[in-house]
């Protein structure tokens, strides 16, 4: 059969979470042979995500791990930022590794899909037959129209990015997928909570023993944008409190949004 796509999605609680998850799930419903590993950034699984997944119509695994509120940093490092989704993606990898031990190894690919991006259906078919690591452009990222691997004669030679193009793998999380066998044969490869900003992708791929020559350019030799790093606008909820103050009543907090 066709390889399974394991899609690891970190997700955190916010006003727009359910709307983002509904939109993403409706994309995934069009993708055959997909298993959604959704990892909440919470100490306890939420009712919202639990109920949403039960009726979403997808094959899924629901996990959770909370990002510690304060992660220690060197006081000399001004560029350190709170990592987003790092422990969650690692928990997804760990689940895939331990599940794969217990069953016959089927061909599969692993992709890290943030909950607010936009995915064309074509990108899933591009990644499905990944031998080691496949790569492609990502739209609307890095303060550019798109970022992309630079491809010369069918091989990746570098990175079209403004920000730190000297990174070993200067691409966004949405820009690559990894064959499951490679992940299983490098059991300690993972994302790093202490990696500098922009180096998450490099920390995983370096741990997989990958160099540029191994990368498989997809999306017509990286000439098509099939995934976009869209970001959902933060919704202003300033009238919630004003309404309660002025009218003595507000929206029904039992109604899930």
> Encoding tokens for residue 184?
């299983």
Under the criterion CB under 6 A, does residue 147 sit at the interface with ligand UDP?
no
Stretch that binds ligand UDP, among 9-17, 58-66, 149-157, 214-222 (CB under 6 A): 9-17
Short-list 178, 173, 169, CA closest to 134: 178
- 151 vs 177, beta carbon nearer ligand UDP: 177
Distances (CA, A) of 219 to 134, 176, 227, 256: 10, 11, 10, 39
Report the partner that residue 134 touches, choosing among ligand UDP, Mn ion, none (CB closer than 5 to 8 A by kind). Answer: none
DSSP-assigned beta bridge partners for residue 151 = 156
Catalytic residue among 201, 216, 240, 256: 201
Instruction: Please list every residue from 23 through 42 that binds ligand UDP, using CB under 6 A.
Output: 41
C-alpha 40/C-alpha 257 separation (Å) is 17
Q: Which does 217 bind (CB under 5 to 8 A by kind): Mn ion, ligand UDP, none?
A: none
149 in contact with ligand UDP (CB under 6 A)? no
For the chain, how far is it from start to end, CA to CA, in angstroms?
A: 39
Clarify whether 201 is annotated catalytic.
yes
Q: For residue 88, state whether it binds ligand UDP (rule: CB under 6 A).
A: yes
The structure tokens listed for 173 are 């999380």
Among 84-92, 93-101, 193-201, 202-210, the segment contacting ligand UDP (CB under 6 A): 84-92
Nearest distance from C-beta of residue 233 to ligand UDP, angstroms: 12
Q: Is 116 annotated as belonging to a binding site?
A: yes
6: which strand partners? 35, 110
In this structure, what DSSP letter does residue 143 have?
Answer: T
Q: Is 116 in the site for ligand UDP (CB under 6 A)?
A: yes
Tokens of 204: 């995983």
Q: Quick check: 175 and 138 in contact, CB under 8 A?
A: yes
Site string for ligand UDP, 170-209 (x = CB under 6 A): ----------------------------------------
> Site for ligand UDP (CB under 6 A): which residue of 18, 23, 62, 84?
84
- DSSP letters of 192-217? -TTSPTT-HHHHHHHHTT--GGGEEE
Ordered DSSP codes for 131-157:
SSEEE--EEEETTEEEEEEEEETTEEE
CB of 248 to ligand UDP, least distance (A): 35
d(CA 49, CA 115): 12
54 in contact with ligand UDP (CB under 6 A):
no
Residues in contact with ligand UDP by the rule CB under 6 A: 9-12, 41, 67, 84-85, 88, 114-116, 231
Q: Which residues are catalytic?
A: 201
Give the annotated binding-site residues for Mn(2+).
116
């Amino acid at each position: 059969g066709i390889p399974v796509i394991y899609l690891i999605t970190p997700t955190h609680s916010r006003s727009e979470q359910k709307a983002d998850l509904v939109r993403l799930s409706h994309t995934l419903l069009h993708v055959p042979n997909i298993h959604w590993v959704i990892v909440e950034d919470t100490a306890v699984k939420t009712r919202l995500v639990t109920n949403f997944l039960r009726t979403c119509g997808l094959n899924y695994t629901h996990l959770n791990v909370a990002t510690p509120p304060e992660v220690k940093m060197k006081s000399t490092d001004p560029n350190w930022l709170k990592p987003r989704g790092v422990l969650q993606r690692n928990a997804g990898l760990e689940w895939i590794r331990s599940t794969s031990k217990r069953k016959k190894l089927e061909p599969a690919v692993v992709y890290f899909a943030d909950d607010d991006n936009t995915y064309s259906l074509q990108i899933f078919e591009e990644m499905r037959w990944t031998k080691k690591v496949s790569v492609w452009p990502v739209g609307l990222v890095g303060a550019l129209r798109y970022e992309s691997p630079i491809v010369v004669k069918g091989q990746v030679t570098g990175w079209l990015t403004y920000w730190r193009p000297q990174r070993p793998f200067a691409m966004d999380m949405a820009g690559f997928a990894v064959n499951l066998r490679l992940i299983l044969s490098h059991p300690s490869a993972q994302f790093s909570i202490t990696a500098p900003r922009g180096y998450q992708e490099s920390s995983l791929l370096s741990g997989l023993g990958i160099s540029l020559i191994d990368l498989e350019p997809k999306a017509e030799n990286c000439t098509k944008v099939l995934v976009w790093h869209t970001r959902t606008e933060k919704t202003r909820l300033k009238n919630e409190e004003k309404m309660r103050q002025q009218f003595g009543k507000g929206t029904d907090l039992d109604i899930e949004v």
